[in-house]
Structure 1
Amino acid sequence: MAKTKRGRTSRSRGRGSQNDEPVGDGGPDEATAFIAETTTELAKLARRHKLGMLILLLEMAQMEAEERARLRGKRKLS
Structure 2
Amino acid sequence: MQKTVLQVCPQYDLYYLFSLYNICILYNRINKMNTTKNNTRRKKWSLKYKRSINCKKPKGFSQRQHCKYGKRPKTIKKWT
Give the TM-score range, shorter chain: 0.3 to 0.5
What TM-score, normalized by structure 1, do the two folds share? 0.35
Which of the pair has the greater relative contact order for Cα pairs under 8 Å at 6+ separation?
1
Q: Which has the larger radius of gyration?
A: 2
Higher share of residues assigned helix? 1
